Structures are given as C-alpha cells and as structure tokens.
Structure 1
Amino acid sequence: MFTLLSMYEVRQIQTEIQRNAAHFLLMETEDPIEILKSEHNEALEKLALLENAVLSISTSGFSAEAFQNIALAIRFLDSEFRNHDRKEEEFLFPLVEKHVSGPPAVMRSEHRSLWNAFGQLCQIVRDVEEGKLHGKVIAELIQTSRTVITLLRHHIEKENTVFFPLTKRLLTATEYKHLQQQFQSAH
C-alpha cells in the first residue's frame, strides 16, 4: 500500500536530495588526488612554456622574450609547485607509508632530484640576470632546463598513473577524509 506524502514532506525530501548532491559535488571537487592532478596539469603547462623558450633559444639564440618565459615558469615552480610537493611530503606520503614504504620513498627521491636540478637552473638564471651571458651559460641554461623538464614530466606521469591510483586503493575512507581535511587546512 502506498502512502501519500504531504507537500511539506516532499519539500523536505527535495531539500535533503539537494543538500546531498551539493555535498557530493563539493567532495568531488575537493578530492585531494584530483587537486594534485590539477596542479600537475598546471605544471605541465608551465613546462611547455619552459620547453618552448628553451627551444627558441637553442634554435634562434637568446632573446628577452624567451628568457621572460623561462623566468615565468621558474616562478611558478618555485612557488606553486613547491607548495604542491610540500602537500605530498607532509600529508600524502605519511598516510601511504602506513601501508607501504617503497613508493613514497621513490617519490621523495624524485622530488630531491628535481629540486636539486631546479636549484642549478635558478643559479644559472641568476647568472644571466647579472649579465654573465656567454656561450657556456646559455648551454647550461638549455641543458639544465631540459633536465628539469624531463625529471618533472616523468615524475608527474608516474604519480598520475601509478602512485595516485595506488594511494586510492590503499587508504581507508577515514584516512582519505583526513587527507582531504589536511588539504583544506593547507589552503
């Protein structure tokens, strides 16, 4: 036998459905792994800018425009992407290490290699800014930029295709919710 609902009950149900839909939409947009992937996409855009600038310098010679694009990419990596790596190191890796130790250790090692190469690139850029512009510096700028590009692209690919799916399989719902809360407090 069916029971007829009052208009009040129908409105309550509609409100609850809307609240739940909004909650799930909010959860989806605040998924920590999706946030990290989105940040990876931003980094890949800046790497393309860096790569095009380096290609321009290697084929057409040094130009102020190419150097400005290199500086723009470097500023992004040094601020936004450094913060990205900090979130992984402080929040994500420790949770994954409760289940396995190898993959987070590999990711940390790759971070160190990337930031070492990035530090070298920053020093070369400072040399150029200080007017130490000669063939060796330009060759170092090109080579070190390519190293940073390669290291970061491979790292992003590994995280997106191996590490993040592993993370989603390993973390419990409680751990994942905790990670989400940590990401929210980090902004």
Structure 2
Amino acid sequence: MVNQSFTHTLPALRVLENEHRFLTHEMNQWHAIVLDFENERFSREEGLVALQQLRKLVIEFIDPLKNHTEKEEKFLFPMLAKYVGSDQGPVQAVQEEHNEIDAFIGHFLHHTRGDLSQFTLQMMQDVVKDAGEAFEVMMIHFIKEENIIFPMVLSVLRANEQEELFEQLYTSILPES
C-alpha cells in the first residue's frame, strides 16, 4: 500500500480518514475478484473457487465496515445534524448510502449462501455484480464524506465538540480476536 499523508489535521477526521484507507485496502482485495469476473477471466470451475473466496473476503469485511459506519451514525452524524439538520442534505445522503451499501452486500451474500455447485458462470457473473455495486457506492461515499462531511466538521463544530468527537471515534474497527 502506498504511504500517503493525511489530508486532515483534526484528530477526529484523521481517525475516520485512516479507517477509510483501511477499508479501501480491504475492499480492493475482493474487488479484484469482481473485476476478474467482469473481465471473464474464469472458467466455470475457477469461478466457483473465486466466488467462494469473494464471499469469504466480503464476510471478513463486514465487521470493520459495520464498526466504522456505526461510529459515524452514533457520533458524527448526530453532532453535525444539530447544526445542518438530518432531514435532507449531505448528512441524510451519506446515511442513505450506508443503507445502500448494506443492501448490496446483503443481496450478494443472500444469493451466494448454501450450495453453489450448480451455478453457471453466467449466474456467478450476475451475482458478483452486487459486490461490484457495493464497492462503487463505497468509493464514492468515502470521497463524499472526505470532501463534504469532513469540512463541515471543521466549519460547524466548536473546538470542544471536535475533541469530544475524537474521544468517541478513537476506537478500533477491527473485530476482537
């Protein structure tokens, strides 16, 4: 992974930015398999193995993703909503994207549970599209948060609120071993 400097200096935003980078790294692991399906690089047998690996990687991704989004929904969004509202606008939009991401991942996992041995290569390519959509929504979502939501934190939250947010966000998103 390329060593990049942080965009933001505010500790709370560095926590979230670091989580975005970790999640992006993890997503890239399973998105490579999605791209191989899209580019028709698998025979049916190779596809079955790849689909099982993709499912495994997506399942491993869920806990860190959930831990990250729950922190945003519990701490970041309500704090911003006090100033900018939550019925419309950017806070509502990013919250809706969390639901959209969950739906794509849930749909993928639902359709890949159980015995996959009867799947044709076309069925595999079709079901993998949900994982690809989840990836696309997440990438746009991270960019939106970093370019719209994060600057809002800097412009509307008072210094003591920014410190409180850091204390709330400074927890690991990795599942406990």
How much does 1:118 deviate? 1.2
User: Structure 1 residues 160, 112: closer, same or farther in 2, change over 3 A?
Assistant: same
Partner Cα distance (2:74, 2:105) in 1: 20
Aligned residue in 2 for 1:53? 33
SS of 1:60's partner is: coil
User: What RMSD, in angstroms, separates the aligned Cα atoms of the two structures?
Assistant: 2.4
More helix by share: 1
Structure 2 unmatched ranges of 5 or more: 1-7
Higher Cα radius of gyration: 1
Q: Return the TM-score normalized by structure 1.
A: 0.74
Alignment partner for residue 70 of structure 2, among 72, 81, 86? 86
Partner Cα distance (1:63, 1:186) in 2: 33
- Structure with higher RCO (Cα < 8 A, 6+ apart): 2
Aligned residue in 2 for 1:126? 113
SS of 2:96's partner is: helix
How much does 1:78 deviate? 0.9
The alignment covers a number of residue pairs equal to 158
- What percent identity do the matched residue pairs reach? 22
Aligned residue in 1 for 2:167? 181
Aligned residue in 2 for 1:74? 58
Q: Return the TM-score normalized by structure 2.
A: 0.78
**Displacement over 4 Å in runs of 4+:** none
Aligned residue in 2 for 1:25? none
- Conserved? CA contact 1:46–1:76, under 8 Å: no
Alignment partner for residue 17 of structure 2, among 37, 60, 73? 37
